[in-house]
A and B are shown apart, each in its own frame.
Chain A
Amino acid sequence: MERKSDKKTGFFATLQQSPSTDEFIKGLWRENAVFVQVLGMCPTLAVTNSATNAIAMGLATTFVLLMSNMLVSSLRNFIPKQVRIATYILIIATFVTVADYVIQAISLDVHKSLGAFIALIVVNCLILGRAEAFASKNTIGKSFLDGLGMGLGFTFALLCLGVVREILGSGTLFGIPFFPANFQEWVIMILPGGGFFTLAAWLLIFNWAKQRKKKVVQLDNKEIAA
């Protein structure tokens, strides 16, 4: 039995109904790597002490994700199951190395502040996870969209953290002062503890919103039943 009220309307809903755009949209929000799947936590926490770092890291990850997704997808029939993980890692590591050099060429400063975490994109569970769960089973086109969506979703999540941590921790946003001169920075925000707390706070907010939504839906159902 299908209820009319289940049908969603609006822009996003239209997008969702087309299968290929859904591959893209889902990563942004519904299956967001950080907030929903809790993957790729290390870079999420480590490099988000400024918004700039967050974006740089997010884009680098998106690049690697996109490229490896496409390569894995195109080679998917060539790779036997037993060596699947090993080869995926090879592929990912390659693109990370490439990204590493590219970033060095663009800006040493950014490279320095991201530190080892560029190299560590290799082991971001998100990338291997997508290669394994999606790209190895889907066409190149779909894998491209999936990678793009997931990557941008990841970037968005990093930005969420980076903005909060930079504003409170350094009193700036993208390096530009955000507060009057003698603002007291919350140093904790750029320390490791602050990373944990900020992410936890975001999760709390999302959980709370989700629970509220559930309640509202339940209320709706009750009304329908009445």
Chain B
Amino acid sequence: MNQTDLLQGQKPSNSIHMFRAMVGIGLLCALLIVVSYEYTLPVIKHNKAVALEKAVFQVIPGAVKRVTYKLTDQNTFEEMQGEPQKEQVVYAGYDANNQLAGIAVEASGQGFQDVLKLLYGYSPTDQKIIGFYVLESKETPGLGDKIEKDNDFLANFSGLDVLLSDDANALKNPVKSVKHGTKENPWEIDSITGATISSKAVGNIINNSISYWAPLLYKNISTFTGNQVSSLE
């Protein structure tokens, strides 16, 4: 072994080489990525749509068709295509007869461990929450994740009373979680023993969300029902 051999590679190379290497590889990578993106995009879009649809249909019993609406600056709703970016959206579900079956709303808030993301179905006609689905949760498996699995708990959401007050600007009775076995009123959520905190979090999240959305949705109910015909093919 001699000195020059070993010292090779320690020599500074010239800047052009470095530029060439980095930019060249950068371009190559960009190419690779774009190509694979283009190829997979349709499939992924389809997957996502299916997943969303599944969730929406789960929280709106009887729904077979979904239309996305976005909230405009004038507090009205208009139909939108494509993926929502910054807009606040809700998903209206229509049944086989093309009647409005309910509106699915996303809501999120602090759970026991981290942020909980929920989707719930709201029926503006009945003024009830008619379905509930957990989109994202880091609650403790075995405890907190019962909010996704516990049938007693899920039963709360097949008709949770969210009546508006007379002026239709706020809820008449706030949605509230109560201790397991002490549910007395239709606007109360019967908690899960051992997961009181997660249950309460669900209650809070829904309460906050529905207090905001229910008046809006209720006032614009015609937008959703009126659409029935137009979106029919």
Contacts and interface: CB of A to CB of B under 8 A. Distances in A.
Interface residues of A, number: 28
Interface in B28-64: 28-29, 32-33, 36-37, 40-41, 43-44, 47-48, 51
A108 B48 contact: yes
A94 B29 contact: yes
Given A90-B29, A94-B33, A187-B143, A101 B22 contact: no
A170 B141 contact: yes
Interface in A103-134: 104-105, 107-108
Given A75-B25, A104-B47, A98 B143 contact: no
A46 to B, nearest CB: 12
Given A81-B9, A87-B22, A108-B48, A98 B141 contact: no
Nearest to B12: A82
A190 B144 CA distance: 13
A160 interface: no
B118 to A, nearest CB: 15
B40 A102 contact: yes
Contacts of B24: 78
Contacts of A187: 140-143
A201 B206 CA distance: 43
B47 A101 contact: no
A39 interface: no
A79 interface: yes
Given A82-B12, A170-B141, A93 B21 contact: no
Q: Which residue of A86, A169, A170 has the most chain B CB atoms within 10 A of its CB atom? A: A86
Contacts of B9: 81
Interface string A16-50: 00000000000000000000000000000000000
A185 B145 CA distance: 14
A192 to B, nearest CB: 10
Nearest to B41: A101
A121 to B, nearest CB: 15
A101 B21 contact: no
A83 interface: yes
A191 interface: yes
A98 B36 contact: yes
Contacts of A198: none
Interface in A173-218: 185, 187, 190-191
A90 B40 contact: no
Given A104-B40, A108-B47, A185 B142 contact: yes
A138 interface: no
Contacts of A102: 36, 40
Contacts of B142: 185, 187
Contacts of B21: 75, 78-80, 83, 87
A82 B39 CA distance: 34
B17 to A, nearest CB: 5
The 9 closest A-B pairs by CB, nearest first: A80-B13, A94-B29, A101-B40, A105-B43, A98-B36, A187-B142, A105-B40, A104-B44, A80-B17
24 contacts: A75-B21, A78-B21, A78-B24, A79-B21, A80-B13, A82-B13, A83-B21, A83-B22, A86-B22, A95-B32, A97-B37, A98-B36, A101-B36, A101-B41, A101-B44, A104-B43, A104-B44, A105-B47, A108-B47, A108-B48, A187-B140, A187-B142, A187-B143, A191-B140
Given A80-B17, A83-B22, A97-B37, 8 more contacts: A90-B25, A90-B29, A91-B25, A94-B33, A98-B33, A105-B44, A169-B141, A187-B140
